[in-house]
Chains A and B, each alone.
Chain A
Amino acid sequence: MSLDESISHQSLLKVKVWRGKEDGQWMNYEVPARENQTVLDVVSEIQRKLEPGLAYRYACRVGVCGSCAMTVNGKPRWTCRTHVKKVSGTGELTIEPLRNLPRIKDLVCDLAPFIDTWQKAGAPFSGIQTRHQEPAKVDPGSKARKAADAGLQCINCAVCYSACDVVSWDKDYIGPAGLNRAWTLINDARHGKRAETFNKAFGEGGCGSCHSQGNCTRHCPIGLSPSESITGLKKSALFGLPKV
């Protein structure tokens, strides 16, 4: 399939896109290769001009929301922040949904199991103070606060979850993002259930299953380090909860 005659002299990008659910198939498309083009641009161009029924997700297009995550040439990425040139040395692209999550249609997967892992890791914040009390004074330079701050910017994109082999082997494993979230809470003086969160993060499917190879950290688009947070959790098993 190619676009209209006017661009036939332009070089074309060969794109393989997954269509359907688990039992779907690869479809081949060709779109013009442009000087400046993100993988999301390519997906949008296919959907607008060649395959109107193609399902995919995006919202902000500028690396803020995390909803455009897909597997591009075998690696989980934010497609809006991935320039085609960066990933397609061969002039070819393969685009499929994130790994480790049930597929819904084409490039869209069901994030519910991923969000559930946050609950499993004891993620809900539980305040100790009422609105009538003075806000807690937290020293921004303290070790615990720095540890919490380091993991706080996570936007639930599931890229790390998709990159993790242990998640693909062990469906009970909480995975990097949930454990990272637990570690930020355990280091938060205002969280009332630190011990409970820790017990969950170290329960069945908890941080003890992590291999510490850091594939999650390698792929996190905003440079967070879930593996470092997990190391913090593991150390706490020996040395007790961090002081907040």
Chain B
Amino acid sequence: MERYLFLAQRLTAMVLGPLVLIHLGLILYAVEGGLTASKILSRTRGSVGWGAFYGLFVIMAAIHGPIGLRNVLNEWTSLPKTATLIITLGLGLLLLILGARSVVAVVGLGG
């Protein structure tokens, strides 16, 4: 399992790298351009592209973050390894649900 977690963490990091940069650029663009929430939403609602972009972002983050947190917990606490696995699995699910909710809010369901 360790090997697959290790691979999943590295591969998701490779995907997340450019996604994070685009996301940050987007924030700068929106703030500098003085875009309001409603203007942003008018562009993202119903957009398959943004839906896919942030959908992928959420999935990658929900995999990547908890694996790292599991390593930190294993090193810094004396919790048994099954406990750290359950905690971080829970965190992954939580990230997935919260992330999916925001994607739905920004893109809208079915436009």
A-B pair count, CB < 8 Å, reads: 30
Interface contact B2-A202, CB-CB below 8 Å: yes
Interface of B is mostly: helix
Interface size on B, residues (CB 8 A): 12
Interface size on A, residues (CB 8 A): 14
Interface contact B3-A170, CB-CB below 8 Å: no
Interface contact A208-B3, CB-CB below 8 Å: yes
Interface contact A169-B75, CB-CB below 8 Å: yes
Interface contact A234-B6, CB-CB below 8 Å: yes
Which positions 185-207 of chain A face chain B at CB distance < 8 Å? Answer: 199, 202-204, 206
Interface contact B75-A170, CB-CB below 8 Å: yes
With known contacts A166-B75, A170-B74, A237–B81 Cβ distance under 8 A? no
What are the residues of chain B within 8 A of A204 when measuring CB–CB?
1-2, 81
| Bound: A203/B2 CA distance, A | 6
With known contacts A203-B2, A206-B2, A237–B7 Cβ distance under 8 A? yes
Interface contact A237-B75, CB-CB below 8 Å: no
What are the residues of chain B within 8 A of A166 when measuring CB–CB?
75
Asked if B43 is an interface residue, CB under 8 A from chain A, the answer is no
Asked if A37 is an interface residue, CB under 8 A from chain B, the answer is no
Asked if A238 is an interface residue, CB under 8 A from chain B, the answer is yes
For B67, the closest partner residue in chain A by CB is A208
Asked if A44 is an interface residue, CB under 8 A from chain B, the answer is no
Asked if B101 is an interface residue, CB under 8 A from chain A, the answer is no
Asked if A156 is an interface residue, CB under 8 A from chain B, the answer is no
A-B contact pairs, 30 of them (CB 8 A): A166-B75, A169-B75, A169-B76, A170-B74, A170-B75, A172-B81, A199-B3, A202-B2, A202-B3, A202-B6, A203-B2, A203-B3, A204-B1, A204-B2, A204-B81, A206-B2, A206-B3, A208-B2, A208-B3, A208-B5, A208-B6, A209-B71, A209-B74, A209-B75, A234-B6, A237-B3, A237-B6, A237-B7, A238-B7, A238-B10
Chain B interface residues toward A at CB < 8 A: 1-3, 5-7, 10, 71, 74-76, 81
